Amino acid sequence: MQTIAELFDLSGQSALVTGGGIGIGQAISLRLAEAGAGIMITDINLEAANQTVEMIKASGGKAQAIQADASSATDAKRTAQATIDTFGKLDILVNNAGIYPVSPFMETSETLWDRVLDLNLKGTFLYTQAIAKVMIKADQGGKIINMASVDGIRPTGLVAHYNASKGGVIMLTKAMALELAPHRILVNAVAPGGILTPGTCQTGDEMQKVTGKSLEQMAVDIGQRIPLGRMGEPEEVANVVLFLTSAAANYITGEIIVVDGGYLLS
Amino acid sequence: MTTPSIAELFDLSGKGAIVTGGGMGIGQAICYRLSEAGASVMVADVNMDAANQTVDEIKNRGGKAQAIEANAASAADAKKVVAATVEAFGSIDILVNNAGIYPLLPVMRVEEALFDKVISVNLKGSFLFAQTTAEAMINAGKGGKIINLASVDGLHPNGNATPYNASKGGVIMLTKALALELAPHKILVNAVAPGSIMTPGTKNVAASALEAGLTIEQLSKSFTGRIPLERAGQPDDIARAVLFMASAAADYTTGDILLVDGGYLLS
Ligand SMILES: NC(=O)c1ccc[n+]([C@@H]2O[C@H](COP(=O)([O-])OP(=O)(O)OC[C@H]3O[C@@H](n4cnc5c(N)ncnc54)[C@H](O)[C@@H]3O)[C@@H](O)[C@H]2O)c1
Ligand SMILES: NC(=O)c1ccc[n+]([C@@H]2O[C@H](COP(=O)([O-])OP(=O)(O)OC[C@H]3O[C@@H](n4cnc5c(N)ncnc54)[C@H](O)[C@@H]3O)[C@@H](O)[C@H]2O)c1
């Protein structure tokens, strides 16, 4: 029987985190590195990715940055290979990169729709397929964690394209879990509620333009809809990702863990 | 916000926990994990011998625990257990509503008394223990964690288990309703929904269902029929998930139903 410390020890494993430069992806990278995993941080923003690497190295962890687009099939293959070249193996994939531009449904262009679906949904498919191929070849199983959202379960307004992408991520998670189970590749998702990140701060500005509400008023509105009365921190999502990547979750696959301070209850 | 280390996240030192049905099976595994994390554990069970065995093992491993005879379906026993926990450990921070029964019988043979019994242990018991424990938590003003044992059968019916399916469906919605109402007190309420787990209870049920005329095929279909990970779970698989929910790693999660089923509900 493994001790609790052993359950959460990822030493000798390596993880690829998309969009690891800032926000939730950065917090996930820091947590998995603390648990001992070597981290390949991919981001379209190489400067941000490098900053996360510096933070990890400063606390004694192992990490490397690579510029890559999470919606590109060739980048999926390239980053998988880079992870193997750097760390010798690939045990964990976190499909975190995602965008949530605000746009009223009647004004949403096909181009915006495609951009959101290509990254949030198709990117998750492409990266999982490319990385699972490597995992199947190595025959040691693996863990894949997708970033869903409470918006994939209940719509909030002004982000129909985003709602559709994350609803798709939830069912994609279950479908891939079913098909990859024979290879002992476990696929799960985390569905965050309102989390304070650079991305959501920008969303606040965009919402303000569309709704005319002040940021202060929006914060009050949001707080009132969250039973725990506050937005979450990126670390609180990262802690749940750590659980799913750990041996503590070895009998869990196809599951969506909601991390929303109770938002979906209200 | 200073970020706690991973070791700090899973450290339950100084916390008091109640586990109903902690004498064997999943409840026993939960007691061991909470105790390993540093919590003091009140092991409540109708079967005092079993509860004492769990306590002895925890003490052997250097942990702190106490056994108490209690029926999870009794309001008076809920009060007794909560008072004993505060008395013994000084505080009550975690409640695990684990005690549950799952007799297998075709629906046309289920009598009212059996229906009542299953609902009162599995559903009403979770309500009674949650309400009594939350009262103590609210008085202490420090928040807390309540974790209910639901089941995949609360989401998707299992044959020959009608009262059980209904009880666990109820536990799932009870979990969400309590989470909503107790959030202002920083009491987080979540459930863990196991799939097929090898416990003394599942073995007994298999034996008595065979006696009652169910075939081996019907039984194996209802237990391990279609699990993508191709194995039944162990009690510790569930205990790990309960530990996670009880820990600070789950401090922004409330009203969630965590499935631990080897993918069973996908198939
Ligand atoms: N913040 C929230 O409230 C919230 C809620 C639910 C779900 N999520 C999901 O969590 C994930 C992260 O969100 P966040 O708030 O941390 O975002 P963020 O905007 O703060 O950070 C996203 C990171 O991803 C990178 N990125 C963007 N497009 C990319 C691409 N095509 N390829 C590679 N990298 C790319 C960015 O450069 C940035 O470093 C997203 O999938 C988001 O949908 C966030
Ligand atoms: N084993 C599984 O496959 C499985 C699957 C899904 C859910 N569950 C749930 O997990 C929980 C534990 O199941 P298990 O398989 O470990 O059971 P078990 O029968 O092996 O052990 C149950 C324990 O609870 C005690 N108990 C029974 N009735 C009680 C009562 N009225 N008051 C106090 N204690 C009582 C028993 O004495 C025993 O110690 C139950 O809620 C069950 O519904 C189990």
How high is the pLDDT of residue B223? Answer: 64
pTM tops 0.95:
yes
Domain ranges of chain B: 10-196+235-260
Is the CB of B248 inside 8 Å of chain A's CB atoms?
Answer: yes
B244 with A34: Cβ contact below 8 A? no
According to DSSP, the β-strands at B16-20 and A38-43 are: unpaired
Structural fold of domain B10-196+235-260: Rossmann fold (3.40.50)
B30: chain A residues, CB-CB within 8 Å: none
CB of B18 sitting under 6 A from ligand 2: no
3-state secondary structure of B267: coil
Q: Ligand 1 centre from A41 Cα, in Å?
A: 13
How high is the pLDDT of residue B219? Answer: 73
Mean pLDDT to the nearest integer, A133-157? 97
Mean pLDDT to the nearest integer, A38-49? 98
CB of B67 sitting under 6 A from ligand 2: no
**CB-based pocket (< 6 A), ligand 1:** A 18-19, 21-25, 43-45, 48, 69-71, 96-100, 119, 147, 149, 192, 194-195, 197-200
Query: Predicted confidence band at B77 (pLDDT cuts at 50, 70, 90)?
Result: very high
Q: What number of other Cβ atoms are within 10 A of residue B234's Cβ?
A: 17
B236: chain A residues, CB-CB within 8 Å: 1
CB of B149 sitting under 6 A from ligand 2: yes
Nearest CB neighbour to A178, from listed B195, B228, B260: B228
Q: What Å distances lie between residue B165 and B20, B104, B117, B152, B224, CA to CA?
A: 20, 11, 13, 9, 17
A143: chain B residues, CB-CB within 8 Å: none
Is B1's pLDDT higher than 70?
no
Distance CA B164, CA A160 (A): 39
Q: What Å distances lie between residue B254 and A4, A209, B36, B46, B249, CA to CA?
A: 23, 32, 24, 29, 12
- Mean pLDDT computed over every residue of chain B: 96
Q: Among A251, A253, A260, which would you mutate to test the B interface (most chain B Cβ atoms within 10 Å of its Cβ)?
A: A251
DSSP type of residue B105: B
Q: What number of other Cβ atoms are within 10 A of residue A172's Cβ?
A: 20
Residue whose CA lies nearest to ligand 2 atom number 23: B21
Mean pLDDT to the nearest integer, B48-58? 98
3-state secondary structure of A39: strand
Predicted ipTM? 0.95
Residue B121 CA to its chain's centroid (Å):
12
Q: Which residue matches tokens 């879990």? A: A177
Q: Could you give the residue ranges of the DSSP H alpha helices within B212-234?
A: 216-223
Mutate to test the pocket of ligand 2, among B32, B33, B46 (most ligand atoms within 8 A of CB): B46
CB of B89 sitting under 6 A from ligand 2: no
